[in-house]
Structure 1
Amino acid sequence: MNNPMKILFTLLAAAALLSCTAPAETAQELALRFNTPAAAWEETLPLGNGRIGMMPDGGIDKELIVLNDITMWSGSEDPEALNPEALTYLPKIRGLLLTGKNGEAQRMMYDHFRCGGLGSAFGNGKDAPYGCFQMLGDLHINYSYPQTEDAGNYARTLSLNDAVASTVFTKGETTFTREYISSHADDVLAVRVAADKKNSISFEVSLSRPERATVSVQENTL
């Protein structure tokens, strides 16, 4: 008869060997990557926490960060915007979409599933009573560098695993790194600017908005 203790020891040893040699599982890295600054708004990296957000373009000398706030609405309550019959068309629109009749669904939506009155005024909602969502403003950062060399090794990344965007490039022997986050826990937008050589960071910050805005500075607050 086999020795039970010997069999148990053999099984434990085999399990330990497998646990030592099995490769550790690693989470798949998901990211958007660019090797140039954004040339258009659609190429910027979106970050948000459900209430506030920003879209940095990763410019080297001049960086533009578009800021958003969910409460930035141009209009107000408009009684004419109410359309009680819209709800009755929702099941019909869904049914058309589920059967692949997208064109019919779109036409029905345009005809019946929309607000009354001027609504968003066909793209000019800021001047209509109902209004529309608008950007909060543009944050401009103009950088100055002691290095005279052109930028190289440029990388702009948005990590979909941890929702952190970054811009990294070199000038001469100096590596510059910027990181952008939108914190849900703290309800803030933050930009970290760093360099691996001392006395390499210098910039000016300004804020603007196309209309209906006044920018002021009080102590260290813009």
Structure 2
Amino acid sequence: MESRRLFLTFLTTATITVVALIVPIFHVVWQHSKNALEASLQDEFAHVYWWDRWYSWVLVAGPLGRWPVGTAFGYHLLAARQPTPPEWHMGYMISEPNLTPFLMIIIALGLALFTSAMALLGIRDSLQGKTTFDRMITHPRGTLYWIPATSQRSQAGSVFLCPVNINLYDSGYQRNWEDLMARPLLGPMDLERWLHLSQALRITR
């Protein structure tokens, strides 16, 4: 559970950090991208080699990738139309149309989407009292759990069969969330929950 909380914290922090880094430059890069896309749509070369080709619909992430690649063509066209290279100054890669910030934002948004999806799935599993093992491994007869012995130094334990549709760790949304938040962000594995579960199962046998 400690590792799950740490992992969820990492995913959430990564998403917030990526979004926070993009926000200050997003408006400027968005305007440049609109101009680049318009230039690409009006250019005959771009139509011959990209927009009017069948592979533009399937080559890069299907139809969704058609527009970013076309916009990248537009950035190349805007750079070629400049009579002289822009004079270097602090922030010129943002103030002037440049392909690099556009690609970096595309990659960053993909990363933020991935980490946010992973975080939401992890939070959902935590609220339902599910572990990664429960979500990845299922069996028609149920799930086998190995419950360690009371002694932390002993490797002995017992194996129990948990029937299907019975979640051993589900204590309700609120209790599951409180249990997750009560765990230390960094710390050794706490066997208290395992011992409590072991005693409960032995009583019900």
**Higher fraction of helix:** 2
**Higher fraction of strand:** 1
Greater RCO, 1 or 2 (C-alpha within 8 Å, sep 6+):
2
Tell me whether the two structures share a fold, i.e. TM-score over 0.5. no
* TM-score, normalising length: structure 1: 0.27
* TM-score, normalising length: structure 2: 0.29
